[in-house]
Amino acid sequence: MLSFAVPWVFGVAVAAAAVVFGLHLLSVRTPPVLVLPTARFVPGGDARAVARQPRLNDLLLLMLRVLALLCAGAAIAGVQWSTTRASRLRLVVADEGMVDTVAWRDSVQRALADDDALVATHLARGVARDPGAALVAATAQSAALLATHRSLSTVELTVVLDSSAATLAGYAAWRSQWPGAVRVVTRGGTPATRTLANALPVRVTGATDRDDAVAAALTLGRGTGAGSGTADTVVMVQRGSAATDTAAAREATSPATLQVAWPSDGMPESWMRRSKADTVGALVANGSALVGPWVRTAILRDSVRTLLDTSRTMRAVAWWSDGEVAAIERRTGSTCTREVAVVVPRGSDLLTSSSARGLMSALTGPCGGVRMSTVMLRDDRSAVSALAPASAFRDDALSTEGSDPWWMTPALLMVALLCLTGEWWWRRHEAVS
């Protein structure tokens, strides 16, 4: 399907072609001039004079002129060829971990197939953890598809989610940026949400200081004290120095399936000391911020940072307010380990406040994070109920005004030049004959 980057330019060319056609209708034909020495040599017959032609003449000249105008106008207007006539993009985004993706894609294509719609499916990374990743991927995919198919004018987005996710914070932020309605489809049952009140049992080791703020906060109200434990202990938090924590983690005989390295002296293995300590205003985890006089002394190693961006078995569970990672989680089989690079002042009560519940549940909760129900997302209460317009994804300042493919502009200009050359040659040939 043909379209133009600057349609009004081609409209001017069509109007000029119409003017040329009208002038051909008003054209006159001059009879040949005969030079006669005397009147007696005048041939017999009806006298002819200059008169209007009631029908078109010189059709070849008319075709050459009109074709030259249309080709030149199309070249300047930026003619673009689209492989589809659809005016609506139906985009379906789901997590890349979906099983049997080929069958799923085929079923989506059959269910949403429409003569007036282009169906596209995309599997994005991180959707199962945070549905906001689906909206980020949808924005990028829409921009790419709309740049290729110029006939598309609207985007209909469908997001396929599991019944639960680690967090909904990203979805809430990106939903406000999506310029249209979003249809959310969930699959699976609704899971029970785990809260800090029924968090996993915790055992703290290596806390030799009676005023250890981390040990006090973790054992408060749980029925277990620092250094103690029960048969069903599943979370072990190592305090003390970094070297002590590492040895304790390797030699632990507890049936813990979750080990948290949170040294009070030094830093975990994945971190290195900052050249200069700085202050940070808040610590963010589980969608909540814990404001306090935090001093940051460690930074994640570059190799671990790269692995964090690419590995499926590692994720960040806490961040500083400027986005720097403060705690990470690793999964190896059935064992889960966390490393926390947060220094808590001695005797501080920051971790016992209500605003610390998000951080504490993120560090001592089940591996994979506290799951939250996504069923509520099916009810899209956004003020934007219409489909997203294509103009919201096309950057007018950066969009090309040339032809697509690029070679169509020089090809059309060459055809226009050949038409004008042919028209000139034909008129010259008529004049000579």
Q: Is residue 38 a part of any domain in this protein? A: no
Could you tell me if 311 and 332 lie in one domain? yes
Quick one: 7 exposed, middle or buried, by C-beta within 10 A (0-12, 13-18, 19+)? exposed
- Other beta carbons less than 10 A from residue 425's beta carbon: 11
Q: Is residue 39 a part of any domain in this protein? A: no
- How many domains is the chain built from? 3
Exposure on the CB side of residue 25, measured as CA atoms within 13 A: 6
Q: What is the mean pLDDT of each run of 10 residues along the chain (433 residues)?
A: 71 87 71 64 62 62 86 79 71 80 74 81 85 90 83 87 78 86 76 45 78 80 43 71 50 60 86 89 82 89 84 83 87 84 85 83 75 78 79 61 68 87 81 63
Could you tell me if 333 and 202 lie in one domain? yes
Q: Under 8 Å CB-to-CB from 389, ≥6 apart: which residues?
A: 153, 154, 155, 179, 180
Could you tell me if 72 and 205 lie in one domain? no
Could you tell me if 353 and 427 lie in one domain? no
Q: Is residue 83 a part of any domain in this protein? A: no
CATH of the domain at 284: 3.40.50
Could you tell me if 296 and 345 lie in one domain? yes
Could you tell me if 349 and 382 lie in one domain? no
Report pLDDT for 253.
Answer: 41
Report pLDDT for 243.
Answer: 45
Could you tell me if 362 and 381 lie in one domain? no
Could you tell me if 137 and 22 lie in one domain? no
Structural domain including 300 reads 196-370
Q: Is residue 43 a part of any domain in this protein? A: no
Contact of 162 with 188, CB cutoff 8 Å: yes
Could you tell me if 222 and 356 lie in one domain? yes
Could you tell me if 239 and 296 lie in one domain? yes
First to last CA, the chain: 44
Could you tell me if 158 and 181 lie in one domain? yes
Q: Is residue 41 a part of any domain in this protein? A: no
Q: Is residue 46 a part of any domain in this protein? A: no
Among 106, 110, 99, 105, CA closest to 122 = 105
Report pLDDT for 252.
Answer: 45
Quick check: pTM over 0.85?
A: no
Could you tell me if 100 and 232 lie in one domain? no
